[in-house]
Amino acid sequence: MKLIYNVNDKPAPGQLVVFAFQQVLAIMAATIAVPMIIGHGMSTAAAIFGAGMGTFIYVFFTNRKSPVFLGSSFAFIGSMNAAFAGAVSAQAGYVGLLFGALCAGLVYVVLSVVIKSVGVDWVNKLMPPVVIGPTVAIIGLSLAGNAVGDLQTSSATGEATQWAVLCGLIALFATMIASTYGKKNAKLIPFIIGILAGYAAAAVLTLIGQSTGNTAMVITNFEPLKNIHGLFAMPDFTFLKAFGAMGEVDAA
């Protein structure tokens, strides 16, 4: 694979702004998807805040040598659902989440010590690309049902409509075409192109639906744009509910 930019290359300032905007679009969708899938009152604002703080800490300790954003992990969705399913209450489920996060963190600490001592060659042998690729693909495919379900009920009225699925497919194929067959600049911003294509299709369908009275075609709700302050909120740290459920855990 031929890289357009190497690790140490720096794009022009104008391109950096565009790339940063694309990164925001990508990480926002991935970061808020996990709390929305899990439910149980989990806060999307808290997920974004935690991801941002975690990224700052990670970049600080790695001396900015690994430019990675730490978003919500889809690999833990199954265990997070199990924590709530097996708990006596939602608050007790948060206890399971905290305990699981602590154990996962300890595993990462142990692995970091081992890698610091013996290097990463054993990791590459244990998990070569032929193993990592299918694993990531399985995680993504397992969430395909959630994506289709969310699309079917993502209209402005909340009603199930296939027009929303059409907009999602337009965004998907626009992204795939841009990243595969696009020119140099198009290959660098496939997410922006895909989102703009999907949003344009949704806007056209919405205008047609509003003018014809067909509510099924009203995909986009423009009302939140009239109150821009309503788009921002302080994070609700719902995991703190775990401390109120210690008695329930002891009783269980």
Q: What is the pLDDT of residues 2-44, one digit of tens each?
A: 667 776 778 888 888 888 888 888 888 778 888 877 776 677 7
What are the pLDDT digits (tens) for 153-206? 766 666 667 888 888 899 989 999 998 888 878 888 898 999 999 989 988 988
Domain membership of residue 214 as a residue range = 157-220
Q: How far is CA 183 from CA 89, 171, 174, 196, 236, in A?
A: 53, 18, 13, 17, 43
**pLDDT above 70 as % of the chain:** 80
The stretch 211-223 carries a mean pLDDT of 78
CA-based radius of gyration for the chain: 21
Of the pLDDT bands very low, low, confident and very high (cuts 50, 70, 90), residue 110 is: very high
- Residue of higher predicted confidence among 244 and 35: 35
Residues 129 and 168 in one domain: no
Residues 23 and 120 in one domain: yes
Residues 183 and 205 in one domain: yes
Residues 65 and 96 in one domain: yes
Instruction: Record the pTM.
Output: 0.64
Residues 200 and 98 in one domain: no
Quick one: 216 exposed, middle or buried, by C-beta within 10 A (0-12, 13-18, 19+)?
Answer: middle
Q: What is the mean pLDDT of the chain?
A: 79
Q: How many domains does the chain have?
A: 2
Residues 95 and 169 in one domain: no
